[in-house]
């Protein structure tokens, strides 16, 4: 039997604290809960507890994915964490997750390409597993944005929440698994989403903290324009290489950026015939966790049929975008 590379199990973790639109409206001047819902379709989001960091969220999601796949942590060969909100500049968050899980034989590393990170990490995992037949990879998307919010900036504060999602990647029988991946980078648009302080160009200082340099900033209209201009054209080449057609795509699992934006994106991509999964209604924009959380929720609700085609899409800071077309195995 010939094999390909696919997803063996999924998992996710959402912190316990639920933050409603009413609560956000009390924190952000000049808006209402109704305004948030109308502009984003988000009704709530989760915030990590004070003693939780990104690695903690990632560990919980990874444990759920390992359990779903029936795999123990000591069998993992590669552990990849996609995050832009790591526990600290050093060590890599993946090293902390590896140690917490007991995945001591795994090569562990981080990928920072923000909200496209899970798709990029999935493609790296696919390549690594293909190079070493029989190996397994654990791919985690995790972000904890509540520590980086400026409640004076309604464009970001209303959108973001904390979460982690994970997938175990390994060999699956054909025709299942990942058919192909399409990645794109637009570094010339890097100024659309940023955190100014805390790096080598603008090191953390009392001044950067006083001026909000550690807060996430975003030019919302520019981001929306980037998504509409760059994501739809990526679909055609991906479908052509895999010998599939748009009407064969049964499920669309996108980054949970903004509900209104996703509605426009579905129309622009011609994906109205697919089922679009949008847990952002409950959880908001979860950064690199968005795609794996949406995938895990759909899988656990038994919404994904055996042999159905799924299109995963991530896009965000960098600017970057990624698509993954896979045939689901139930």
CA-to-CA distance for 11 and 166, rounded, in angstroms?
Answer: 5
**Catalytically annotated residue among 21, 215, 258, 285:** 285
If asked whether residues 148 and 189 sit together in one domain, one would say: no
Boundary (domain end) residue, out of 131, 148, 175: 175
Nearest residue to 182 via CA among 227, 257, 116: 116
Cβ partners under 8 Å of residue 188, min gap 6: none
Q: How many domains does the chain have?
A: 2
Tens digits of residue pLDDT in 161-204: 999 999 999 999 999 999 999 999 999 999 999 999 999 999 99
* 3-state class (DSSP) for residue 90: coil
Beta bridge partners of 142: 164
- Catalytic residue flag (residue 285): yes
Query: pLDDT > 70: what percent of the chain?
Result: 99
If asked whether residues 137 and 14 sit together in one domain, one would say: yes
**Catalytically annotated residue among 78, 115, 251, 258:** 115
CATH of residue 259: 3.40.47.10
Question: Does the pLDDT value for residue 1 go beyond 90?
Answer: no
If asked whether residues 19 and 81 sit together in one domain, one would say: yes
If asked whether residues 160 and 289 sit together in one domain, one would say: no
CA-to-CA distance for 246 and 273, rounded, in angstroms?
Answer: 9
Query: Which DSSP category does 288 fall into?
Result: G
- Catalytic residue flag (residue 60): no
If asked whether residues 263 and 186 sit together in one domain, one would say: yes
Q: What is the pLDDT of residue 12?
A: 98
The parent domain of residue 297 ranges over: 178-327
If asked whether residues 58 and 37 sit together in one domain, one would say: yes
CA-to-CA distance for 10 and 8, rounded, in angstroms?
Answer: 7
Q: Average pLDDT over the chain, rounded to whole?
A: 96
If asked whether residues 33 and 158 sit together in one domain, one would say: yes
Question: Does the pLDDT value for residue 330 go beyond 90?
Answer: no
- Catalytic residue flag (residue 255): yes
If asked whether residues 302 and 195 sit together in one domain, one would say: yes
If asked whether residues 235 and 112 sit together in one domain, one would say: no
Question: Does the pLDDT value for residue 3 go beyond 90?
Answer: no
**Catalytically annotated residue among 255, 258, 269, 324:** 255
List phi, psi (to 5°) of 206: -60, -35
Boundary (domain end) residue, out of 120, 151, 175: 175
Q: Which residue has the tokens 């970001």?
A: 156
Boundary (domain end) residue, out of 127, 152, 175: 175
């Amino acid at each position: 039997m010939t094999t390909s590379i696919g997803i063996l199990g999924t998992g996710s973790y959402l912190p316990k604290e639920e933050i409603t639109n009413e609560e956000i409206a009390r924190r952000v001047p000049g808006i209402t809960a109704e305004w948030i819902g109308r502009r984003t379709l988000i009704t709530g989001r989760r915030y990590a507890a004070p003693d939780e960091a990104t690695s903690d969220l990632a560990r919980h999601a990874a444990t759920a994915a390992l359990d779903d796949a029936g795999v123990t942590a000591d069998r993992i060969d590669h552990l990849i964490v996609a995050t832009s909100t790591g526990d600290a500049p050093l060590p890599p968050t993946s090293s902390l997750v590896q140690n917490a899980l007991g995945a001591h034989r795994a090569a562990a590393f981080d990928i920072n390409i923000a909200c496209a990170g899970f798709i990029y990490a999935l493609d790296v995992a696919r390549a690594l597993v293909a190079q070493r037949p029989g190996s397994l990879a654990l791919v985690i998307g995790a972000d904890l944005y509540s520590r980086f919010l400026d409640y004076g900036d309604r464009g970001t504060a209303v959108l973001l929440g904390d979460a982690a999602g994970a997938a175990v990647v390994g060999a699956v029988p054909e025709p299942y698994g990942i058919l192909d991946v399409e990645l794109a980078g637009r570094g010339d648009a890097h100024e659309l989403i940023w955190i100014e302080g805390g790096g080598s160009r603008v090191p953390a200082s009392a001044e950067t903290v006083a001026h909000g340099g550690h807060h996430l900033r975003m030019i919302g209209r520019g981001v929306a324009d980037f998504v509409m201009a760059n994501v739809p054209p990526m679909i055609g080449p991906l479908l052509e290489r895999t010998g599939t057609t748009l009407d064969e795509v049964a499920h669309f699992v996108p980054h949970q950026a903004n509900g209104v934006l996703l509605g426009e994106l579905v129309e622009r991509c011609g994906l109205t015939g697919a089922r679009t999964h949008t847990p952002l209604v409950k959880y908001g924009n979860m950064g690199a966790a968005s795609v794996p959380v949406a995938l895990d929720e759909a899988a656990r609700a038994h919404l994904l049929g055996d042999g159905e085609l799924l299109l995963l899409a991530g896009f965000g800071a960098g600017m970057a975008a990624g698509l993954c077309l896979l045939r689901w195995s139930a």
